[in-house]
């Protein structure tokens, strides 16, 4: 049995790149090479979703991941058009390629049970928009800080969480 440390956002908080889109303020965090964060499995995404409350975020976090599910950038409260068209937007300071995303939505009430029809419709529309841009929407997570709900697991009969990924060292996980 190998010991896997808990997923943690970088202790040494880098300054977020602050941006303005119209009258909407948002920012981008760029993890440094020494702050590598890998979201190898669903449990890692849940841990990340509970830690976003340590960030200066109000509504949504969009996590950009490479093919090894290593975080390349974290967008805090991006405008809706950036979140929807993330594969076509040029983001300042985001040079590392990404091909997968996780959206973490802060919701004051995360209901139990299956996703609503509205959640299903929104999840599938966002997933189709990502696919049209050559990206994989890994998940949309709803969290209130205590509870985390996966729309991918609730809406998709075969969510990407069950796919094997190739780790950074070349082994399968």
Q: What one-character-per-residue DSSP string does 39-104 give?
A: --SHHHHHHHHHHGGGSS-SSEEEEEE-TT-BEEEEEES--HHHHHTTTT---TT--S---EEEEE
Model pTM score: 0.85
Whose CA is closest to 67, among 94, 34, 101, 42? 101
Q: How many CA atoms lie within 13 A of 171 on its CB side?
A: 3
Residue 3 lies inside a defined structural domain of this protein? no
Q: pLDDT tens string for the chain (173 positions)?
A: 333 444 555 544 556 778 777 787 899 988 877 778 899 999 999 999 999 888 888 899 999 999 999 999 999 999 999 999 999 988 887 888 899 999 999 999 898 889 999 999 999 999 999 999 999 999 999 999 899 999 999 998 888 888 777 655 555 55
Query: What is the number of structural domains in the chain?
Result: 1
User: Is residue 2 assigned to a domain?
Assistant: no
Number of neighbours of residue 24 by Cβ within 10 angstroms: 13
CATH number at residue 142: 3.40.140.10
The answer to whether residue 44 sits within a structural domain is: yes
Look at residue 9 and tell me if it is in a domain. Answer: no
Q: Within 10 A of 52 (CB to CB), how many other CB atoms are there?
A: 20
Answer yes or no: is 126 within a domain: yes
* Sign of CA pseudo-dihedral 73, 32, 165, 66: positive
Question: Structural domain of residue 109, as residue ranges?
Answer: 17-162
Q: From CA 69, how far away is CA 166, in angstroms rounded?
A: 9
Q: d(Cα 29, Cα 124) in Å, to the nearest integer?
A: 27
């Amino acid at each position: 049995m190998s010991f896997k440390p808990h997923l943690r956002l970088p202790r040494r908080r880098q300054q977020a790149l602050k941006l303005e889109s119209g009258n909407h303020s948002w920012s981008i965090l760029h993890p440094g090479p020494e702050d590598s964060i890998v979201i190898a499995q669903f449990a890692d995404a849940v841990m990340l979703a509970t830690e976003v409350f340590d960030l200066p975020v109000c509504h949504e976090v969009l996590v950009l991941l490479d093919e090894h599910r290593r975080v390349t950038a974290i967008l805090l409260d991006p405008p809706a058009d950036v979140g929807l068209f993330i594969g076509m937007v040029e983001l300042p300071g985001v040079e590392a390629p990404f091909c997968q995303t996780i959206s973490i939505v802060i919701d004051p009430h995360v209901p139990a049970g299956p996703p609503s029809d509205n959640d299903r419709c929104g999840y599938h529309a966002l997933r189709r928009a990502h696919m049209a841009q050559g990206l994989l929407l890994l998940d949309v997570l709803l969290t209130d800080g205590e509870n985390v709900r996966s729309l991918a697991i609730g809406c998709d009969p075969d969510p990407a969480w069950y796919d094997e990924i190739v780790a950074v060292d070349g082994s399968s996980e």
